[in-house]
């Protein structure tokens, strides 16, 4: 039996096709995933992302703990209300998970990690927390809605509880509210568009959901979420990076905080060794020039050997098929490669993601 | 519940076949199939003149979700393909039994369609498959 989010009945009412995702019953789409994709690029859509795991990390040693745990450095979050994207690595430099960390106070942080990696992440957090004066607590009492699109903020703000409204309106990108309030609004997302992610008590989720739909925000499912994030050049854990790949091989070098050199985060030695030897494989973006659809695990033929598509799809805003791929480092310089699509070598242009940002095609 | 017109014949691989009465058959995928696959983004059609045996993969429909083979419902030769699908694959979703047709073929045996499922048998088959 799959787990259900607090919005399960609301999805049924909205005509969702439900699928199992990481042990959760989740909406794939509500009729047309492409229409939902365009709604987010052009106006606003709302995603139920309550399956994501929300974890509060608090205590006198919360900062040193997270500086040890994460490859990005929470010391960059100088003031409460700021957020950071980071990878949690194993000692070999492989990615255990990617996450967003919000600084909530001097000694208070909130992590949002993936649903599919929940048990492994909570285990790892508990083990790594030994010896640190911190409490690690999964917040299963919270739901999470992502409202995304150029009109998302203006359509969401009037529906927020009064005390939160002004603070949410004032947020810069990658900031979150820090009020003593059961709701948290963050100007973050996974679509390449502006918008909010709202973390709120589970029992309040349906009210906000219905109010957003009433205001004309389009319900959007996991299908559109995937095409939007891929166009935005954002990695999907388990596809574009795993425990077998380092951030440097996954287009996530920018999330590794090398300075200060004395910060000894888990996986640092392995990453330094890989960097010194030369990273063997790199992530590239691909735009298919021939007709067809790029899909995960297709072979990519470069001048320096064979690579693999890690995520690929038809991209509704780009109007072509796009992909993220991992290729031999020297092959990443090729202007064009071939991808074996159903037995045929099709031409693909090598580009630097994102493919789309704020509604505009960039490749 | 998906639509299953009674004047068509069906396969267990979810193709539909219309006997045009002029020695040709029109082939497409069923409403059930398009619903399962989701938004179509690419359709690859056979060459005109190509010959296929019943059950041969002869076309590909790709949705946002996955690529699926389309199988020749009977032995025969392709006589025409739906060119409109190159630019508008969504016709397969919008009108699977009409503008979303895939190709026409000339069957090797004139009464070949008789061996295919009728609407009732196909409906029963979908019912079975769901359980």
* Spatial CB neighbours of A227, under 8 Å, sequence gap ≥ 6: A33, A34, A37, A313, A314, A315, A316, B64
Q: What angle do CA A7, A11, A12 make, to 5 degrees?
A: 120
Report, at the CATH architecture level, how domain B9-109+116-122 is classified. Beta Barrel (2.40)
Facing A293 at nearest CB: one of B42, B90, B93: B42
Q: Report the residue from B67, B86, B93 with minimal CB separation from A295.
A: B67
Domains along the sequence of chain A with CATH = 280-361 (2.40.30.110)
Q: Which chain B residue has the Cα nearest residue A30?
A: B38
- Determine the residue of chain A that is closest to B68 in CA distance: A342
Nearest to B67 among A29, A227, A342 (CB): A342
Instruction: Give per-residue pLDDT as tens, A267-321.
Output: 999 999 999 999 999 999 999 999 999 999 999 999 999 999 999 999 999 999 9
The answer on pLDDT for B65 being more than 90 is no
Strands A344-351 and A336-341: antiparallel
Judge whether A293 is closer than 8 Å to chain B, CB to CB. Answer: yes
- Determine the Cα–Cα distance for residues B67 and A8; give it in Å rounded to an integer: 29
pLDDT over 70 for what percent of chain A? 100
What is the per-residue pLDDT for B98?
A: 97
Q: By C-alpha distance, which of A211, A21, A119, A148 is closest to A4? A: A21
Mutation site for B-interface testing, chosen from A288, A293, A319 by largest number of B Cβ within 10 Å: A293
For residue A32, what are the contacts with CB-CB under 8 A and spacing of at least 6? B39, B93
Q: Is the pLDDT of residue A33 over 90?
A: yes
Contact B106, B23 (CB under 8 A): yes
Chain A interface mutation, best of B39, B58, B89, highest count of A Cβ atoms under 10 Å: B39
Supply the pLDDT for residue A180.
Answer: 86
Nearest CA in chain A to B69: A342
- Mutation choice for B interface testing from A38, A313, A314, A321 by most B CBs within 10 A: A314
Identify the pLDDT of residue B110: 86
CB atoms B39 and A292 under 8 Å? no
A1 pLDDT tier (thresholds 50, 70, 90): confident
Q: Which chain A residues have a beta carbon less than 8 Å from that of B64?
A: 33-34, 223, 227, 313-314
Decide if pLDDT at A155 tops 80.
yes
Q: Is the pLDDT of residue A178 over 90?
A: yes
> How many Å lie between the alpha carbon of A37 and the closest alpha carbon of chain B?
11
pTM of the model: 0.94
Instruction: Determine contact, residues A247/A256, Cβ cutoff 8 Å.
Output: yes
Q: How confident is the model at residue B82 (pLDDT cuts 50, 70, 90)?
A: very high
pLDDT at residue A166 is higher than 80: yes
Query: Contact A250/A241 with Cβ under 8 angstroms?
Result: yes
**pLDDT exceeds 90 at position B131:** no
- How much is the average pLDDT of A56-62? 98
Angle separating helix axes A118-129 and A62-69, nearest 10 degrees: 120
Question: Which chain A residues are Cβ-neighbours of B65 within 8 angstroms?
Answer: 223
Q: Is the pLDDT of residue A179 over 90?
A: no
* pLDDT the model gives residue A109: 98
Q: How far is A172 from chain B (nearest CA, A)?
A: 34
Find the residue in B nearest to A35 (Cα).
B39
Q: Is the model's pLDDT at A29 over the cut of 80?
A: yes
CA distance A1 to A3: 7
What pLDDT does residue B20 have? 95
Q: What is the pLDDT of residue A268?
A: 98
């Amino acid at each position: 039996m799959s787990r259900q989010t607090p919005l399960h009945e609301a999805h049924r009412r909205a005509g969702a096709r439900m699928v199992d995702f990481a042990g959760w019953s989740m909406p794939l789409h509500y009729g047309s995933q492409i229409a939902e994709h365009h709604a987010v690029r052009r106006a606003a859509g709302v995603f139920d992302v309550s399956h994501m795991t929300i974890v509060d990390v608090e205590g006198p040693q919360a900062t040193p703990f997270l500086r040890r745990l994460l490859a990005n450095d929470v010391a960059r979050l100088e003031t409460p209300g700021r957020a950071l994207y980071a990878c949690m690595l194993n000692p070999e430099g492989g990615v255990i998970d990617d996450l967003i960390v919000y600084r909530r106070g001097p000694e208070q942080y909130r992590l949002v990690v993936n649903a599919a990696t929940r048990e492994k992440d909570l285990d790892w957090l508990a083990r790594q927390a030994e010896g640190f004066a911190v409490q690690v607590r999964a917040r299963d009492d919270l739901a999470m809605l992502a409202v995304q699109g150029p009109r998302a903020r203006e359509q969401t703000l009037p529906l927020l509880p009064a005390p939160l409204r002004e603070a949410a309106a004032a947020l810069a990108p990658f900031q979150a509210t820090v009020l003593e309030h059961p709701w948290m609004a963050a100007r973050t997302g996974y679509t390449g568009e502006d918008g909010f992610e709202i973390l709120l008590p589970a029992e309040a989720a349906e009210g906000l959901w219905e109010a957003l739909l009433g205001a004309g925000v389009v319900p959007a499912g996991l299908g559109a979420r995937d095409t939007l994030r891929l166009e935005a050049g954002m990695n999907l854990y388990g596809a574009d990076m795993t425990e077998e790949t380092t951030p440097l091989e996954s287009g996530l070098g920018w999330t590794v905080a090398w300075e200060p050199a004395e910060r000894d985060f888990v996986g640092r030695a392995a990453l330094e060794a890989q960097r010194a030897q030369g990273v063997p494989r790199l992530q590239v973006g691909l735009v298919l020039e021939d007709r067809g659809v790029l899909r995960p695990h297709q072979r990519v033929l470069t001048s320096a050997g064979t690579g693999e598509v890690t995520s690929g799809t038809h991209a509704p805003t780009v109007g072509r098929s796009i992909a993220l791929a991992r290729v031999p480092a020297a092959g990443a310089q090729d202007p064009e490669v071939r991808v074996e699509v159903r037995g045929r070598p099709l031409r693909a242009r090598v580009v630097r993601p994102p493919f789309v940002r704020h509604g505009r095609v960039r490749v | 519940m998906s639509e299953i017109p009674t004047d068509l014949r069906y396969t267990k691989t979810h193709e539909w076949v219309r006997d045009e009465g002029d020695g040709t058959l029109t082939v497409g995928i069923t409403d059930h199939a398009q619903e399962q696959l989701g938004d179509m983004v690419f359709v690859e059609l056979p060459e005109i003149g190509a010959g296929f045996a019943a059950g041969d993969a002869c076309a590909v429909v790709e949705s946002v979700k996955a690529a699926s083979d389309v199988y020749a419902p009977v032995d025969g030769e392709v006589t025409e393909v739906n060119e409109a699908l190159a630019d508008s694959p969504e016709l397969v979703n919008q009108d699977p039994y009409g503008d979303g047709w895939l190709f026409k073929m000339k069957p090797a045996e004139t009464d070949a369609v008789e061996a295919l499922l009728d609407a009732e048998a196909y409906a029963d088959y979908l019912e079975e498959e769901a359980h």
